[in-house]
């Protein structure tokens, strides 16, 4: 049976945080959650774009409340401010969707000196999840979803040059692949630690396949009239959001599950459990990345729900 939007349950009384929810996969995820009654928090870097997304959601006759909050994942200061504000307002969170990201950008550094793709796509979400973890642990059966990419299979983690220091060896394509591999290793490391404390919170992952989104259209280094034709063959952002929604909401999902489209090379179609690269399944690699991520961000996870 194909998993479709019809499988999304009632989300009345649930609070769900989605990063990068003003467009693309994030917006479609927010729309589905709000349409089914969730109080949906759009964590967006650009406040104006977030407000525009809120207006669009309200025009769609949603049942749940929607809220826009500023979050810049390239800044640990912004992540701390966002998390502090959120935890002051809410004691519990039912779902966190780590969706936001940048793709194939030229070499540049975040405010904290991290290579930007690794800093935003992985370290930003690692820090955010750690800060929000007490509220997630306080909510029974909460979920954390890390949105990765099929591109993770071309990624590798070089701890001797993790940030491509000074641009050494930098490839914007392979840096993106590294960050997406890090997303899956983060899910693996997080699920391991959730199991160790016997928590019913789980960590899952998803990838959207080949979907028509602003991220891909603007960021692809081969953007051209020819590429625009190929993008027209991609599936819609709404279809691309289904793996994320299944990872977040399917009651049969288990910690560590990874969802992607069921079509050719997992490029399009309905969501199913999919495989990942050998590196993405390496527990030693996941543990080492976890330790390095804590050191870089200064975020040490607290495994209690005292917030």
The residues annotated with a catalytic role in the active site are 176
Residue 154, Cβ density class (10 Å: 0-12 exposed, 13-18 middle, ≥19 buried):
middle
Q: How far apart are the first and last CA of the chain?
A: 41
219, 179 Cβ separation under 8 angstroms: no
Find, among 64, 66, 76, 161, the residue nearest to 113 by Cα: 76
Give the dihedral sign, CA 4/5/6/8.
positive
Could you give the CA distance from residue 265 to residue 38 in angstroms, rounded to a whole number?
33
Question: In DSSP terms, which residues pair with 42 in a beta bridge?
Answer: 18, 68
Of the CA atoms within 13 Å of residue 106, those in its CB half-sphere come to 0
Pairing of strands 66-70, 95-98: unpaired
93, 33 Cβ separation under 8 angstroms: no
Q: What burial letters (b/e) apply to 202-238, b meaning 16+ CB within 10 Å? A: bbbbbbbbbbbbebbeebbeeeeeeeeeeeeebbebb
DSSP state of 197: T
Find, among 90, 89, 95, 91, the residue nearest to 11 by Cα: 95
Write out the DSSP string of 247-284: HHH-TT--TT-EEEESSGGGSSSSEEE----TGGG-HH
Distance of CA 186 to the CA centre of its chain: 11
Residue 80, Cβ density class (10 Å: 0-12 exposed, 13-18 middle, ≥19 buried):
middle
């Amino acid at each position: 049976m194909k998993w479709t939007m019809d499988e999304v349950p009632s989300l009345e009384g649930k609070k769900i945080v989605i990063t990068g929810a003003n467009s693309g996969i994030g917006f479609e995820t927010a729309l589905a959650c709000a349409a089914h009654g969730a109080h949906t928090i759009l964590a967006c870097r650009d406040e104006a774009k977030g407000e525009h997304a809120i207006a669009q959601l309200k025009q769609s006759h949603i049942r749940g409340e929607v809220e826009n909050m500023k979050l810049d994942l390239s800044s640990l200061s912004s992540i701390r401010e966002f998390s502090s504000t959120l935890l002051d307002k809410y004691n519990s969170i039912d779902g966190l969707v780590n969706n936001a990201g940048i793709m194939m950008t030229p070499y540049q550094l975040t405010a904290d000196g991290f290579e930007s793709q690794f800093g935003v796509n992985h370290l930003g979400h690692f820090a955010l999840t750690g800060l929000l973890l007490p509220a997630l642990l306080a909510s029974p059966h909460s979920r954390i979803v890390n949105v990765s990419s099929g591109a993770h299979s071309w990624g590798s983690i070089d701890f001797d040059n993790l940030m491509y220091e000074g641009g050494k060896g930098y490839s914007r394509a392979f840096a993106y692949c590294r960050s997406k591999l890090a997303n899956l290793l983060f899910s693996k490391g997080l699920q391991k630690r959730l199991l160790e404390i016997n928590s019913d919170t789980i960590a899952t992952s998803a990838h959207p396949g080949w979907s028509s989104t602003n991220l891909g259209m603007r960021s692809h280094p081969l953007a051209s009239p020819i590429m625009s034709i190929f993008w027209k063959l991609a599936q819609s952002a709404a279809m691309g959001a289904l793996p994320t929604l299944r990872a977040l909401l399917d009651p049969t999902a288990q910690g560590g599950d990874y969802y992607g489209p069921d079509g050719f090379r997992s490029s399009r179609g309905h969501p199913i459990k999919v495989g990942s690269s050998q590196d993405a399944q390496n527990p030693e690699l996941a543990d080492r990345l976890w330790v390095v991520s804590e050191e870089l961000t200064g975020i040490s996870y607290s495994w209690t729900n005292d917030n």
